[in-house]
Structure 1
């Protein structure tokens, strides 16, 4: 075997691998995946099948996955959205769940058992979660199903049709200002730098990979820059080795950072100087989308 495959994106172990990888990896058994969908509000994708294993990312409600193995409450999967491989809780998945028609466009919203905000909610869904809508009921949209429930109701302005992307991904990212930092997180309860970027881009209809090194390789076009950081604009992505932030204007960086353990906004040059001195080193690139 000559190719070095990224473990994050390769459904292969010594004992089991995806059938399409025959000839690329060594494994005792090769299998075809079983298509499923996430029916929990969100689900942790872990590096190993243990609840205390590192969190690599999160899968959101409605997300499609390919399942290669199910055992002892875990499913070994590959996410279809970004190709990430890992272990999800098996009870977060269902093979017959409906494909989403709408996505959550609010930072967080509730699913109610009826079309009333006075009812005890069934669950909360985060920005970017997908649901299947079947109709309207006053100010609410009716879900065709929700997890183990036959139906559910969500405040209509908090949802948008999948075919209607947000016009400005930066505005989506700004919704997350002051949200907690969580390594591997991708919900309003906690998210990391690349999770914030991927989530915002997805709301604008821009598919992107999960981690900052992947984003830096694959998203946008390089923008020349010098020590003065002139000529930048809203929406430019600023990269360090292992970190990414979004410019909300030519001089202001929005990023999820362990420095404050939040999504924070700060002057770009101040962030550049602190990050270079204390954590990720110098800026490695600036990239522009569109």
Structure 2
């Protein structure tokens, strides 16, 4: 079986040490644990600024760094195992483990507990931070800076309804590979919403379709759907808000849009010829 290059840290010249004997490469290296220390970091398939964005790493994510060369780090992300190149400036040593996550669409890191100061960085929904000192108004981070305390939740405090999280991103612009309110794609919307509910998800649509939920019958009438059901086409996914309404980041509206599933189904079929490939239902939260 051919390894998935998106999830396999292997190139003809270099591969992860654990792949020795499994995948041929000129050299094998042990990965070094690093942490993303930029609010958002674009992960690319090639070490070049004009290379497409495959996905984005969020502040506080950990990764294994296999190569540091000419301003780029070749990494494998810990959260979803995606492999690619990040700017080396977005990476730093693995300091104290995260204790909280950002539960709002966007929050700022300030140099002091004062909202009037220019922010040092902006944190997206789902970013992980390590709080050194909680505060009534601002929390001080181990990495430096202060974040508004009410924007943070403990790591074990998760959302009960992932659809509510996705709904907060309604009208966010569409961005291929995006994973924040500044820009998000269809599978990114699913992944970050599920992550906020404590549910691990692969990054790309085809991987999500294989890994998530139990299949439901795909009928002409699409009867019996519920809030939280995932509807898949080849290369696309959306989230049901109710039995009839689909929420999805899409290139037709170029934003996260809410519309009748029947309308989206007709348009996608007419424009691409693609039909719904599966509908998946997640197990109810315990």
User: Shorter-chain TM-score: what band?
Assistant: over 0.9
| Cα 1:180–1:140 shift into 2, 3 Å | same
Matches within 5 A, 1:17-166: 17-145=15-143, 151-166=144-159
In the TM superposition, residue 51 of structure 1 has moved relative to its aligned partner by 0.6
2:225 to 217, 229, 232: 232
Normalised by the length of structure 1, the TM-score is 0.95
Contact 1:242–1:280 under 8 Å retained in 2? no
Question: Separation in 1 of the partners of 2:56 and 2:6?
Answer: 13
In the TM superposition, residue 50 of structure 1 has moved relative to its aligned partner by 0.3
Contact 1:240–1:280 under 8 Å retained in 2? no
Matches within 5 A, 1:241-256: 241-256=234-249
Could you tell me which runs of 5 or more consecutive residues in structure 2 were left unpaired when the two chains were aligned: none
- Select between 56-65 and 120-129 the one with higher mean Cα deviation: 120-129
| 1:201 counterpart SS class | helix
Could you tell me which runs of 5 or more consecutive residues in structure 1 were left unpaired when the two chains were aligned: 146-150
Corresponding position of 2:261: 268
| Cα 1:280–1:54 shift into 2, 3 Å | farther
Paired residues, number: 283
- Select between 225-234 and 93-102 the one with higher mean Cα deviation: 93-102
Question: Separation in 2 of the partners of 1:48 and 1:225?
Answer: 38
Q: Which consecutive segments of 4 or more residues in structure 1 shift more than 3 A? A: none
In the TM superposition, residue 155 of structure 1 has moved relative to its aligned partner by 1.5
Question: Separation in 1 of the partners of 2:155 and 2:57?
Answer: 17
RMSD (Å), alpha carbons: 1.0
Corresponding position of 2:202: 209
> What do the CA deviations read for 1:166-191 (whole angstroms, capped 9, x no partner)?
11100010111000100011111111
| 1:7 counterpart SS class | coil
Question: Separation in 2 of the partners of 1:109 and 1:47?
Answer: 29
Contact 2:62–2:94 under 8 Å retained in 1? no
Normalised by the length of structure 2, the TM-score is 0.97
In the TM superposition, residue 97 of structure 1 has moved relative to its aligned partner by 2.5
